[in-house]
């Protein structure tokens, strides 16, 4: 679904329709939020039986039950972060998304995970909190960039890229003749 919307955003920008791109982003975010809340709520409600998918041992089931709130937060953050990454891809900002991913997870999330999981002995919970920290930072940074986007300017840039590619293709065709 995210791929469809990122394609929709890029098509709207390439067509010179910044309002259409903006509406697509808003629609995408609303759908993602509803999906994330629905899945997270179902997961949280079923947290006491969810562990039985993995094992019948009480210790495993109890551990999964304790981890369920973190899993619910992960579902929400992953959905929003994935959606915002799709927006970035649709705008042609793959390089920005890569830098944000690198900073959020490798420079922020992993050190927190290591500190909590190993040094402070939170074990699995600490590792998961570290990953959530990285996802939270990534979501905040992508949301900030998306909310500050000048859609008219992005549409103009997309049109410029489109005509540059067309010109290059035309030149290559002419040179072949």
23-77 per-position pLDDT tens digit:
999 999 999 999 999 999 999 999 999 889 888 999 999 999 999 999 999 999 9
In a domain, 175, yes or no: no
61, 55 in Cβ contact below 8 A? yes
For 149, the token pair is: 């986007």
Domain of residue 7 covers 2-150
In a domain, 39, yes or no: yes
CA angle 157, 90, 159 (to 5 degrees): 25
In a domain, 161, yes or no: no
Rounded average pLDDT over 116-122 = 96
154, 164 in Cβ contact below 8 A? no
The predicted model scores a pTM of 0.84
Neighbours of 162 (CB within 10 A): 14
Position with higher pLDDT, 155 vs 74: 74
pLDDT of residue 116: 97
In a domain, 162, yes or no: no
Instruction: Quote the number of domains for the chain.
Output: 1
d(CA 30, CA 85): 15
In a domain, 132, yes or no: yes
In a domain, 156, yes or no: no
Quickly list H helices, the chain: 2-14, 18-45, 47-50, 58-90, 94-101, 110-114, 123-147, 151-176
């Amino acid at each position: 679904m995210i791929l469809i919307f990122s394609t929709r955003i890029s098509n709207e920008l390439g067509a010179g329709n910044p309002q259409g791109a903006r509406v697509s982003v808003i629609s995408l975010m609303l759908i993602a939020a509803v999906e994330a809340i629905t899945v997270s709520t179902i997961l949280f409600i079923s947290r006491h039986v969810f562990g039985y998918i993995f094992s019948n041992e009480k210790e495993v089931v109890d551990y999964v039950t304790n981890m369920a709130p973190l899993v619910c937060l992960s579902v929400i953050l992953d959905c929003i972060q994935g959606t915002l990454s799709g927006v970035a891809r649709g705008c042609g900002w793959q390089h920005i998304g890569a830098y944000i991913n690198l900073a959020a997870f490798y420079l922020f999330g992993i050190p927190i995970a290591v500190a909590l999981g190993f040094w402070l002995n939170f074990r699995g919970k600490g590792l998961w909190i570290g990953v959530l920290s990285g996802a939270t930072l990534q979501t905040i940074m992508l949301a900030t960039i998306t909310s500050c986007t000048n859609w008219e300017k992005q549409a103009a840039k997309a049109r410029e890229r489109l005509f540059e590619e067309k010109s290059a293709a035309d030149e290559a065709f002419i040179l072949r003749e």
